Amino acid sequence: MRSLILALDQGTTSSRAILFDHAGRIRGSAQQEFPQLFPQPGWVEHDAEAIWQSQLAVAQQVMREQQVTAADIAAIGIANQRETTVIWERKTGRPIAPAIVWQDRRTASICEQLRNDDHESVFRAKTGLLLDPYFSGTKVKWLLDNIPDARAKAVRGELAFGTIDSWLTFKLCGRHLTDVSNASRTLLFDIHTLDWDDELLALLDIPHSLLPKIVSSSGIIADTFPTLFGESIPIAGIAGDQQAATFGQTCYTPGMAKNTYGTGCFMLLNIGTEVVASQNNLLTTVGWRHGNTADSQTSYMLEGGVFMAGATVQWLRDGLNIITHSSDVEALACSVPDNGGVVFVPAFSGLGAPYWDPHARGTIIGLTRGTNKAHIARAALESIAYQTADLMKAMQKDTHIPLQELRVDGGAARNDLLMQFQADILNTVVTRPSITETTALGAAYLAGLAVSFWSSVDELSSLWQIDRHFEPAMSSDERQHRLSVWRRAIQRAQAWDQ
């Protein structure tokens, strides 16, 4: 009896493996961090082999610790940090360079040149994205332009490009694949035709032979090499981490939204099976696609991304050394009654939606001699909520639908101070589920549906359980004052390094 699903949750700072049972409960987990590389200001890299080794290690660890064999696992689901770009040699499987992480800003000049050449409207219309260094396409171009012999090898078909889902799948089963949700984050994929686009490839000078085959988010795509886990296990679900979290939050109906508080902060709103173009600097992206039949439906999302959320708390820990562990930030912030007039804009690598300013830089404003580390910690947490409020405002302008509830997940969603302030500043109920590991849960759900471990999305919805509601308690006047101060601080952070 195959009684478990194994979810591989490959994130920006760590790799996790979680076993889920039929009730959607966690039956075991393992996690391992891997190095973050910052070779130059604005550059962020990962060692792709370190990612693979850490992901394989935690998968094997959780199986070993729970005394689980491959025969107990019905399928594997993969969720991954999105946009992070790897190019490797097809023959040897060796990466030609470090992976360029989604946070990396080195391709800002490429994006600016494309905008100056009046190409942004083409990318916007076909991909639902903006021209920003965040996405994979300009990272691929940079690697081909800057790694010796890379372009010539790519033209000869000797290289493979992939986001992290493709890299893991290649290492797990030897196939070169990506799903529609990850493909939609590359600047190379037409979200209307659900295929790679020759015009976009030409504008970025990227050979088609470099690209993976596109598959659905839920469907059996391959079996793992038997040497990895003792015998083969079907890989049956793949989704970018934010789409996976939305699926894990059971946001299956248009109008439902979730926000993930991870390294970055990402809000996704289900808009149904038709593309809706944002007029407020949000992204339109593929959420997921079930199966490979002619009547398979694709769900689309509006998305806004904040680059620095949990990463801001990590900076308090590693950059300022004012906390020992990330979890210490709540107690420190609660040791003062308010932020003491301090406002923190964590634009360390620019600002994401709805500003899209790669030249913004981090700003702490309102400091006085009375400011202490607790005020800075509180302002750091508040900055996460303010950035989320900016996203919600843009979404409401696009859809004209007032949000009744925001479902939350990710590591920082466990922070009660942050969640209450989020409800206050949004004037919206914030709901935290019992299982906040919804990224891994979504990957498990996608895989489980494909192998009939679960029968339908209705069954999955019935499994979702609430841990706590956070009700807004802030007065309207105070809310408007705080948002006004936040907007003034944002203006001071923008276009700083131009």
Distance CA 61, CA 201 (A): 40
Distance, in Å, from the CA atom of 271 to the CA atom of 256, rounded to the nearest integer, reads 8
Q: How would you classify the pairing of strands 189-190 and 99-100?
A: unpaired
User: Would you say 174 is a known binding-site residue?
Assistant: no
Place of tokens 């494909």: 450
What pLDDT score was predicted for residue 292?
67
Local structure of residue 33 (DSSP, 8 states): E
> DSSP label at 188?
S
106 annotated as belonging to a binding site for a ligand = no
Q: Could you report the per-residue pLDDT of 288-318, keeping only the tens digit for each?
A: 998 766 567 899 999 998 888 888 999 999 9
Task: Name the β-bridge partners of 168.
Answer: none
Does 93 count as an annotated binding residue? no
Is 388 annotated as a binding-site member? no
Judge whether 264 is annotated as a binding position: no
Is 40 annotated for ligand binding? no
- Please tell me the predicted confidence (pLDDT) of residue 295: 62
- Strands (E) across 273-381 are located at 283-289, 298-306, 343-345, 363-365
| N-to-C CA span, the chain | 61
83 is in an annotated binding site: yes
242 is in an annotated binding site: yes
- Is 467 known as a binding-site position? no
Counting as low any pLDDT under 50, the low residues of the chain are none
What pLDDT does 265 receive?
A: 87
- Amino acid type, 204: L
16 among annotated binding-site residues: yes
The structure tokens listed for 389 are 């409020």
Q: Identify any residues that bridge with 351 across adjacent strands, giving them in sequence order.
A: 357
User: Is residue 414 marked as binding?
Assistant: no
Residue 84 is assigned to a ligand binding site: no
Strands 257-261 and 405-409, how do they pair? parallel
Q: Helix 476-493 vs helix 373-399: angle between axes, to the nearest 10 degrees?
A: 100
pLDDT number for residue 293: 61
Residue 175 in marked binding region: no
SS3 233: coil
Consult the annotation and say whether 411 binds a ligand. yes
Quick one: 372 exposed, middle or buried, by C-beta within 10 A (0-12, 13-18, 19+)?
middle
